Amino acid sequence: MSFVFYDTETTGTNTTFDQILQFGAIRTDDQLRELERFEIRCRVLPDVAVSPGAMRVTGVTVEQLTDPSLVSHFEMVRAIREKLEAWSPAVFIGHNSLGFDERLLRQAFYKTLYAPYLTNTNGNCRTDCLRMAQTVALCVPNALAIPTNGRGRQIFKLDQLAPANGFAHEHAHDALGDVEATIYLCSLMADRAPLLWENFKRFAQKQAVMDYVLGEEVFALTDFYYARPYSWMVTAVGPNPENRAEVLIFDLSRDPQDLMRLTDDELASTLPVSPKPVRGLRTNAAPIIHAYDEAPSRLRETAPDLTTLRHRASVIRADAGFRERLTAAYLAGREEYEEPLYVEEQIYSRFIDNSDQALLDRFHAAKWSERPSVLARISDDRLCILGDRLVYFEAPQLMSDSARHDHEVDIARRLTSSEDAVPWLTLSGAITEATDLVLNATGEEASLLQAHLDRLRQQADQASALLA
């Protein structure tokens, strides 16, 4: 299977409400030799307030944001999807992609009425170079040079990690430049930590994870929170009956017989308490799992001995009733889901049903003049809202004057909302950010930031005039 390394440059760091401005990707063979590359940029959407801090990092100018020679966001996403589907099936990899780039990519697909889960459906799977590097630093400490900050904390940011390991990262924060840096790091890890690299590839695949965790009596799980590693010796309780992509696992540092004595209510109140005896393992999110002998040395030194671990695992695996009680207690302890307020946040609220998906396929195959009539037949209210926005952004001439005016007013209200009342960046927040940055900037950076500040102020004046 080939690899697709990818990266995005964006209007900000809010993966729900910001947008991709630049996308870059390189397809390689299984030896990480380049086969093909792809790069595209687009204009900024009219309902997005751009973060001046993000523009300072990427160097994107006001002129680039609105360059009429660039495609629209919709056309960019359309081109990205066409290319990635042509490259599928593949293993998709970015640096912090599971926490950032993939979320933005899913939102981009969702907002443009495409199925959002391209990177982990139809034979595709995904993993993350950041988590790989963190794992290599933990398990094979000399394989990579890991820079540190003034407090001695390890730094895994791509623009510092790649140069520390010999990569001339002259184009940091350019999508293709960051993709090249990611491939370089993965090549180093494949060469210097080959057993871990094989694990990363193997467990990028959901079914391989499922087969392993359900079949292995004792194994190790590692995860990272704020770049700090946490590892556990665990055994499987069983699949989550409400989520086919999740397996519940038991922390074998706990004696299961202590929990067996508890009533159902006591068990339900115990499971959420840290350190949690039961947690969910997402089989489709490239978990970091190891055989006992390959577990981080620190974990093997502090965990119970292997004989004890195997005995505790066998107690759990032999008692179906206890596993059912653990599963019920775990499910009962979850927070009740509440439908998010804004349509952008509702991407995970429910799957798109087959009839609506068929209509979306027709929507993308149709001409713009035909698309509004297709949208009118869709039942999912999320898709109706997003589709109506798309028509306004891409073909406003198909709308009545009053409908266009309603969209203009809605965007003005959105951008001028009270900064503390909404989850997206407003013009007021962006102006404050730009003003603070300009004060400490010099030279070209000061000019770039001042231009963004001027544009933000102009947008604010226009929105206020529209709402007056």
Residues 390-407 have pLDDT tens digits of 999 999 999 999 999 999
pLDDT beyond 80 at 122: yes
The per-residue pLDDT for 70 is 98
- What the block records as the tokens of 252 is 């074998």
- What the block records as the tokens of 332 is 């009962």
pLDDT beyond 90 at 152: no
68 CB burial (10 A radius; 0-12, 13-18, 19+) = exposed
- What the block records as the tokens of 81 is 């999807």
- The set of residues, in sequence order, having a beta carbon less than 8 Å from that of 374 and lying 6+ positions away, is 359, 362, 363, 366
Same domain, 191 and 209: no
* Residue 229, preceding peptide bond in cis (omega within 30° of 0): no
The angle subtended at Cα 449 by Cα 446 and Cα 452, nearest 5°, is 150
pLDDT beyond 90 at 337: no
Confidence of residue 13 (pLDDT cuts 50, 70, 90): very high
Same domain, 364 and 414: yes
Question: Which secondary-structure segment (H or E) carries 128?
Answer: strand 125-128
> Is 164 inside a domain boundary?
yes
Q: What is the pLDDT of residues 33-51, one digit of tens each?
A: 999 999 999 999 999 999 9
Same domain, 183 and 268: no
Taking the model in full, what pTM does it have?
Answer: 0.95
435 CB burial (10 A radius; 0-12, 13-18, 19+) = middle
pLDDT beyond 80 at 169: no
Q: Is residue 125 a contact partner of residue 204, using CB atoms and an 8 Å limit?
A: yes
C-alpha gyration radius of the chain: 25
Same domain, 144 and 250: no
User: Would you tell me how many other CB atoms lie within 10 Å of the CB of residue 391?
Assistant: 19
Same domain, 182 and 321: no
Backbone angles phi, psi at 347, to 5 degrees: -55, -35
Confidence of residue 167 (pLDDT cuts 50, 70, 90): very high
SS3 labels along 139-166: HCCCCCCCCECCCCCECCCHHHHHHHCC
User: Would you tell me how many other CB atoms lie within 10 Å of the CB of residue 136?
Assistant: 22
pLDDT beyond 80 at 170: no
Q: How far apart are CA 105 and CA 129, in angstroms?
A: 17
> Is 68 inside a domain boundary?
yes
Q: What is the mean pLDDT of residues 405-432?
A: 96
Same domain, 190 and 322: no
Confidence of residue 351 (pLDDT cuts 50, 70, 90): very high
Tell me the CATH number at 179: 3.30.420.10
Same domain, 168 and 190: yes
pLDDT beyond 80 at 210: yes
Q: What is the pLDDT of residues 59-104, one digit of tens each?
A: 999 999 999 999 999 999 999 999 999 999 999 999 999 999 999 9
**Which of 42-46, 141-145, 226-230, 238-242 shows the lowest mean pLDDT across its residues?**
226-230
* Domain tally, the chain: 3
The residue among 160, 195, 230 that closes a domain is 195
Q: Is residue 124 a contact partner of residue 135, using CB atoms and an 8 Å limit?
A: no
Q: How far apart are CA 180 and CA 177, in angstroms?
A: 5
The per-residue pLDDT for 333 is 83
pLDDT beyond 90 at 53: yes
Backbone angles phi, psi at 209, to 5 degrees: -65, -50
pLDDT beyond 80 at 269: yes
pLDDT beyond 90 at 178: yes
- The set of residues, in sequence order, having a beta carbon less than 8 Å from that of 136 and lying 6+ positions away, is 143, 144, 189, 192, 193, 196
* Residue 89, preceding peptide bond in cis (omega within 30° of 0): yes
* 286: containing domain: 205-332
pLDDT beyond 80 at 335: no
The angle subtended at Cα 372 by Cα 370 and Cα 375, nearest 5°, is 115
> Is 337 inside a domain boundary?
no
Q: How far apart are CA 424 and CA 430, in angstroms?
A: 10
Tell me the CATH number at 318: 3.30.1520.20
> Is 338 inside a domain boundary?
no
Strands 2-10 and 90-94 turn out to be parallel
The per-residue pLDDT for 414 is 97
Same domain, 363 and 299: no
Residue that the structure tokens 């306004």 belong to: 392
pLDDT beyond 90 at 434: yes
> Is 200 inside a domain boundary?
no
The per-residue pLDDT for 137 is 96
The residue among 332, 367, 390 that closes a domain is 332
Q: What is the mean pLDDT of residues 384-389?
A: 98
Confidence of residue 334 (pLDDT cuts 50, 70, 90): confident
pLDDT beyond 80 at 181: yes
pLDDT beyond 80 at 171: no
Confidence of residue 379 (pLDDT cuts 50, 70, 90): very high
Strands (E), 204-316: 219-225, 228-240, 243-251, 278-282, 288-291
Same domain, 151 and 22: yes
Q: How far apart are CA 344 and CA 341, in angstroms?
A: 9
Same domain, 29 and 142: yes
Q: What is the mean pLDDT of residues 243-266?
A: 95
Same domain, 22 and 151: yes
The residue among 332, 352, 370 that closes a domain is 332
Same domain, 185 and 252: no
Taking every pair of C-alpha atoms in the chain, what is the biggest distance, in angstroms?
A: 75
